Structure 1
């Protein structure tokens, strides 16, 4: 049997009945991203009012540094924030990759099509109306709000029994704008202290998060990511079109429903913990696709790019004294303008 020229160098993985191809360029890009994340993470743990050298940071992490103050700064205070940035970046990037794959559009991001706003609305209702600020309560409210918003956008996007990606994006932008107005109305009509607390949280910040909030989020993330990996082959086949995917034996509706639930849940997970952090879900999958020169769903590179982008944004935010959400909106807004211009040039 003759070999098939794929147009790029790839590594074949086989384990029992399961096999797959991984591009050599993707492996190299992922390796570089892991090194960059580790290096930036160590650097971030040394930045602060009391600066530490990389040797001191590594010593505190490995337990070889006998200085109690250094271990307290690194392990107890600074490490949870860095790990939160990495975990939230992974969750947002994977969510963005899911929705961009489903819509087959680079603008198909949960923060663009309103799902992030729906999760935020759920948390606002839980905080201002119900009066609960517990993490699990907020997480449940964020998931419910995101899923209800996704269902509304989906129903409004159905035309003649099919959902068109452009219509989905437009409807999502409209629903997101309505929910944004509702959130503002709720904060204006609520108690001043509660509204101010919600407004500060709404900026999207990793400040003050500790191990107590970190590990529940990591546990949920570890449960959800294998589910996403399981449906990833079906998502890649759906990018060829529903009819082609049906011909290959893909249960399209089941894969789509699972993908939407996972995408909304990943976004809600971040929203419940740190507030709405925009544009990582939009930018990370596109940056990963350009780095790997891939043409479809790139889950692992997207996750690593998202972790690096959010960690870098948080380091910059800490230096400026701003919430990380302000930094991601500023940088992501410029990226969105460039993306829209590129899409317009492509269509003309």
Structure 2
């Protein structure tokens, strides 16, 4: 009888997960359509569809769609997918909602390396530098957090310290650079998908196409890893190998997304908790978190571009305005209840 109750609960949870995934997918498609159609140059939805299918469209639609709006929208979707999925992997792997890439170091490492590469070698080296910076930072945080294993609370504390130091390095580099270069770098550090072209979309899409399925496959191990290392080993899980593989994939997603749009604040931090609340279950919610991340980036970019006055705001400003109060509330709540992770 107990087994039947558990099976029924799992079926309900799976059904709810599928419904949430479908609803998020529909909302994301609708937001993409709105992003492509709305702006100073209005494009009707039928014309959007015709342009996407390569059919004849009114004058000007082809240029606005394929040179301006479509690369920007695709960058937003891919960046959101990458950050949302990476954040969920970090949080669910450590069992701590504060263990997000933009809180514990990888995003700051990618930013510092990208700024250094931009100042020394120029634009083409920035994506590679961002990826390497994220990987090296994540490795350093993991090794510094190791004490016969890695606890979520220790990882957060070490990561915050490393991230703060790397932010200081970035600030130092900006003070030593030409004012015009520093201004461009500062816009990038805020996180923006404005003016993105196919040069940013293609490598980001290649990274997401490879890493997103890998994360979803490796994420099957999260259910047993969340039970603790000893129990996971008892269930036949190769704990350290699975954890390192998941972290490597998540860091790769962070590096690719940061290289394309800068460290868009709090998308990785917010997406996982939102997905958990929507699904209301104990299973990993990686796909749902990725969709939430994509939706958050597109909505925030639309708000910053069209709804806050004549001067457009980068997407990172809007996500930061949303995420910072949530982070403060979460820290205050953890302090009151005596839980650090």
Verify the 8 A CA contact 2:211 2:249 in the aligned structure 1: yes
1:42 maps to 2:36:
no
Counterpart-to-counterpart distance in 1, 2:7 and 2:329: 29
1:260 maps to 2:275:
no
Return the structure number with greater helix share.
Answer: 2
Change (3 A) 1:178 1:86: same
1:194 maps to 2:184:
no
Q: Please tell me the root mean square deviation across aligned C-alpha atoms, in Å.
A: 2.0
Deviates more, 1:80-89 or 1:336-345: 336-345
Output one character per residue of 1:250-273: Cα deviation in whole Å (capped at 9) or x when no partner.
Answer: 111111111111111101101111
Output one character per residue of 1:178-228: Cα deviation in whole Å (capped at 9) or x when no partner.
Answer: 111111111101222222221121111101111232122111111112221
How much does 1:63 deviate?
Answer: 3.6
Output one character per residue of 1:234-291: Cα deviation in whole Å (capped at 9) or x when no partner.
Answer: 2221110000111111111111111111111101101111111110101101100100
Verify the 8 A CA contact 1:101 1:296 in the aligned structure 2: no
Paired position in structure 2 for 1:61: 52
1:80 maps to 2:68:
no
How much does 1:65 deviate?
Answer: 4.5
Counterpart-to-counterpart distance in 2, 1:2 and 1:245: 23
1:178 maps to 2:168:
no
Gaps of 5+ in 1: 12-20
Indicate which of 141, 144, 150 corresponds to 1:153: 141
Verify the 8 A CA contact 2:80 2:296 in the aligned structure 1: yes
> For 1:189-338, what aligned pairs fall within 5 Å after superposition?
189-319=176-306, 320=308, 321-338=312-329
How much does 1:138 deviate?
Answer: 1.8
How much does 1:9 deviate?
Answer: 5.4
Paired position in structure 2 for 1:139: 127
Verify the 8 A CA contact 2:90 2:250 in the aligned structure 1: yes
Q: TM-score, normalised by structure 1?
A: 0.91
Counterpart-to-counterpart distance in 1, 2:2 and 2:154: 44
Counterpart-to-counterpart distance in 1, 2:241 and 2:267: 27
Change (3 A) 1:238 1:10: closer
How much does 1:57 deviate?
Answer: 2.1
Verify the 8 A CA contact 2:47 2:57 in the aligned structure 1: no
Paired position in structure 2 for 1:122: 113
Q: TM-score, normalised by structure 2?
A: 0.92
How much does 1:168 deviate?
Answer: 0.9
Counterpart-to-counterpart distance in 1, 2:73 and 2:151: 39
Paired position in structure 2 for 1:4: 4
Change (3 A) 1:66 1:153: closer
Verify the 8 A CA contact 2:47 2:58 in the aligned structure 1: no
Counterpart-to-counterpart distance in 2, 1:44 and 1:211: 17
Counterpart-to-counterpart distance in 2, 1:347 and 1:247: 31
SS in 1 for 2:153: helix
SS in 2 for 1:4: helix
Gaps of 5+ in 2: none
